[in-house]
């Protein structure tokens, strides 16, 4: 019964937002498109149009909210899989290693999506200025979530995208519309989780500090005791909340970061696998190759050649 109610709710949202999403598609049709992304001058906003199924593409995300205007997407975070479409928004409250797939896309039925970078300082100001308090919801949970894509959210997105054709208004209006989007996220069903990540003193915020440190120091040997001290948590408490937030242990998280950055080094600097492995902290090229294949489906040399010999850049880059 619950699954049936969820489907009915998603269908209702798709129907309610259909006219607004059609207007968004009309606005996007006026922008230059490079085969994957629309070009514009709105800060923090990425716009995508994909005309063939894409993926797997891997990335270490930043805090973002992503809204699908047309199509659907599957995202893997650790052992967790989330699927969302035009009825939802996808929220990543902290930067996590992810693998994504655009499930269906064609020239006639393209996948179209928008991703807005989340400014945590703006979130904190809105929480303080408007007295938005956290609820009694547990201070734990995966660092990504899916929420309802309401007409109000899509309307704000439409107005933000419309600024691309009136760039003289971007400096004043873009920030106001972004604040509206952040406010609607904070007051949505996923708002309590977002508030916990933004505010200091919560376990979610402490784990976010550990994640930020790992992203800056992924090549260093990891001492979990040191990471727990950075997070101001006990080791067992850190493990518990870290896994709840990322679906990975700190060591697994570090491995994903290392593999992602090694792949980027081989692509951008033409490094061989052994050199890239050492750059990101591996001591054994054999272990690196084994874990790389497990993560990306092919050993390093074959994977990099496939990317460089393909016109499909979606395997390398994240798509919102």
Mean predicted confidence (pLDDT) in 199-215 = 84
Q: Are strands 111-117 and 88-92 parallel, antiparallel or unpaired?
A: unpaired
Tokens standing for 125?
């100001």
Residue 92: pLDDT over 80: yes
pLDDT at 201 over 80: no
Other CB atoms within a 10 A radius of the CB of residue 22 amount to 12
Residue 120 tokens, joined: 């945590």
**Residues 6 or more apart in contact with residue 276 via CB below 8 angstroms:** 262, 263, 265, 266, 300
Lowest mean pLDDT among 202-206, 270-274, 316-320: 316-320
The predicted model gives 115-143 an average pLDDT of 77
Closest CA to 78 of 144, 6, 169, 160: 144
> In the predicted model, is pLDDT for residue 136 greater than 90?
no
Q: Which residue has the higher pLDDT, 244 or 266?
A: 266
Q: Return mean pLDDT, the chain.
A: 89
Residue of higher predicted confidence among 45 and 125: 45
Instruction: Give the separation between CA 252 and CA 246, rounded to whole angstroms.
Output: 10
Q: How high is the pLDDT of residue 224? A: 93
Residue 129, pLDDT score: 83
pLDDT for position 314: 43
CB atoms within 10 A of CB 238: 24
Provide the CB-side half-sphere exposure for 3 (13 A, CA). Answer: 0
Q: Give pLDDT, residue 62.
A: 83
Give me the mean pLDDT over the 93-119 stretch: 90
pLDDT digits (tens, 9 = 90+) for 261-282: 999 999 989 999 999 999 999 9
Q: What is the pLDDT of residues 16-41, one digit of tens each?
A: 999 999 999 999 999 999 999 999 99
State whether residue 243 is helix, strand or coil: helix
Q: Of the ranges 9-23, 86-100, 134-148, which one carries the lowest mean pLDDT score?
A: 134-148
Two structure tokens written together for 203: 């376990």
pLDDT at 319: 75
Mean pLDDT over 236-259 rounds to 91
């Amino acid at each position: 019964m619950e699954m049936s109610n969820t489907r009915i709710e998603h269908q209702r949202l798709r129907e309610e937002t259909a006219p607004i999403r059609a207007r968004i598609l009309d606005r996007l049709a006026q922008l230059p498109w490079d085969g994957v992304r629309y070009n514009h001058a709105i800060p923090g906003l990425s716009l995508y149009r994909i005309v063939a199924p894409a993926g797997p593409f891997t990335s270490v995300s930043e805090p973002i909210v992503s809204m699908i205007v047309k199509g659907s997407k599957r995202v893997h975070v650790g052992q967790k899989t989330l699927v969302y479409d035009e009825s939802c928004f996808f929220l990543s409250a902290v930067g996590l290693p992810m693998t994504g797939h655009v499930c269906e896309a064609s020239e006639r039925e393209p996948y179209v999506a928008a991703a807005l970078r989340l400014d945590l300082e703006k979130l904190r100001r809105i929480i303080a200025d408007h007295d938005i308090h956290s609820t009694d919801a547990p201070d734990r949970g995966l660092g990504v979530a899916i929420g309802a894509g309401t007409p109000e959210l899509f309307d704000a997105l439409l107005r933000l995208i419309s600024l691309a054709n009136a760039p003289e208004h971007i400096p004043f209006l873009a920030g106001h519309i972004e604040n509206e989007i952040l406010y609607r996220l904070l007051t949505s069903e996923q708002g309590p989780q977002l508030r916990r990540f933004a505010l200091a003193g919560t376990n979610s915020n402490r784990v976010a500090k550990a994640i930020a440190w790992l992203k800056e120091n992924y090549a260093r040997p990891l001492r979990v005791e040191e990471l727990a001290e950075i997070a101001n948590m006990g080791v067992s408490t850190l493990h518990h909340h870290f896994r709840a937030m990322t679906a990975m242990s700190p060591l697994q998280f570090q491995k994903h970061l290392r593999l992602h950055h090694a792949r980027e080094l081989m692509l951008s600097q033409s490094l061989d696998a052994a050199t890239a492995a050492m750059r990101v902290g591996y001591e054994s090229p054999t272990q690196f190759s084994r874990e790389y294949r497990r993560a990306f489906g092919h050993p390093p040399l074959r994977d990099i050649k496939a990317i460089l010999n393909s016109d499909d850049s979606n395997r390398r880059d994240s798509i919102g």
